Amino acid sequence: MSSARQPAPPRPTSRDVARAAGVSQATVSLVLGDKWRGRVSAATAERVRDSARELGYRPNLAARSLRLGDTRTALLVVPALTNEFFARVYTGAAAVAAEHDFGVVLYPSPDGTGPARDPFASARAALDGVIASSMATEALGALRGAELPLVMLDSDPEDRGAAAHVNLDIADGMRQVTDHLLGLGHRRFVHLASAVDTWTFAVRARALRQAVRDVPGVTLTTVRAPLAVTAGREAAEAALAAPGPRPTAIVCDDDILAAGACKAARRLGLLIPGDISVTGFDDLALATAVEPELTTVRLPAEQVGERGMKALLAVLEGRPAEPGELPVRLVPRGSTAPASTT
């Protein structure tokens, strides 16, 4: 018989307690932190305590001191503040937080557009919860380990690792773009797609494919590029110079890539929108800085931050977060026109 020591069974988590008691993780935190009175019924509190005892649950004391310290502080994890969208998300979150005597600690990625590192290594303040962009997912391992309430922005709603999700109707935005271009007679499309592998960009690609799938005569070519003007220009130049009939429209995953596509067209001697139409996504200030101004999808970034903070407050109070996706709107400008017949 081997004398090797068998691995210890996995330690029960607050999620296990929540599942056994039939409640949310936020409710477990309230009950086991003795903050349930006035928020949770006595019967529910007793059921949570019974489930914790039966499972042998022992809270992570370090995480508990952060979570239950009532510091009224939230951590906002975003990929970069060099992107105007995330700066506006912070503005919205901070405004709602201030109304409830909360502060927001901002943690952007040091690498600009890449995932943020473990925020606990530098954000030493105690936290009550986290709001995080799906574009900074690699920072979330430590957060989930600390069992802090987590609200995800622009992320897969099927991900059960978060207490709440706040999403934009990204698919509808791409449908609006496609309907606009099809209505102008465009049939040869290039999708200038983000090389960042996240849910939000996967949704854009899928919605575009579905919107053109059953339209006779449509061709769709996808090229990928990092989220940078130069990378977008290089990818668009290659697509426009490829053999075969030239595309009449470039559909870009965001305004930064669209600016690169506009530069590519000009370098090749093409007129926008006479020879080729270009669309963006986000409606950053950049969209009206280029010439012609960019047809794009306006995303209500501040509302994303506002709803993210409201969702975190709801989770902390044991309430359901507001359901539904935030609507988006196509803003037609000078970069799109009827398709060229050449």
- CA–CA distance, 310 with 303 (Å, rounded to integer): 10
Distances (CA, A) of 166 to 36, 85, 187, 223: 25, 15, 34, 29
Q: What gap in Å lies between CA 311 and CA 319, rounded to an integer?
A: 9
Of 279 and 34, the one with more pLDDT? 279
Task: Tell me the per-residue pLDDT of 139-163, one tens digit each, with 9 for 90 and over.
Answer: 555 555 556 788 999 998 888 778 8
Give the pLDDT score at 5. 46
Give the per-residue pLDDT at 143: 57
Q: Which residue has the tokens 């809270």?
A: 59
Residue 215 has pLDDT above 70, yes or no: yes
- pLDDT > 90 fraction of the chain, expressed in percent and rounded: 52
| CATH 1.10.260.40 intervals, the chain | 14-59
CATH 3.40.50.2300 in the chain: give the residue spans.
70-167+301-321, 170-299
Please report the pLDDT score of residue 90 as a whole number: 92
The hierarchical CATH code for the domain 70-167+301-321 is 3.40.50.2300
Domain 170-299 fold is Rossmann fold (3.40.50)
Q: CATH top-level class for 14-59?
A: mainly alpha
Q: Which of 53-57, 117-121, 190-194, 312-316 has the lowest mean pLDDT?
A: 117-121
Per-residue b/e over 198-209, b at no fewer than 16 CB within 10 Å?
bbbbebbbebbe
Portion of the chain with pLDDT greater than 70, in percent? 82
Tens-place pLDDT, residues 69-82? 467 888 888 876 66
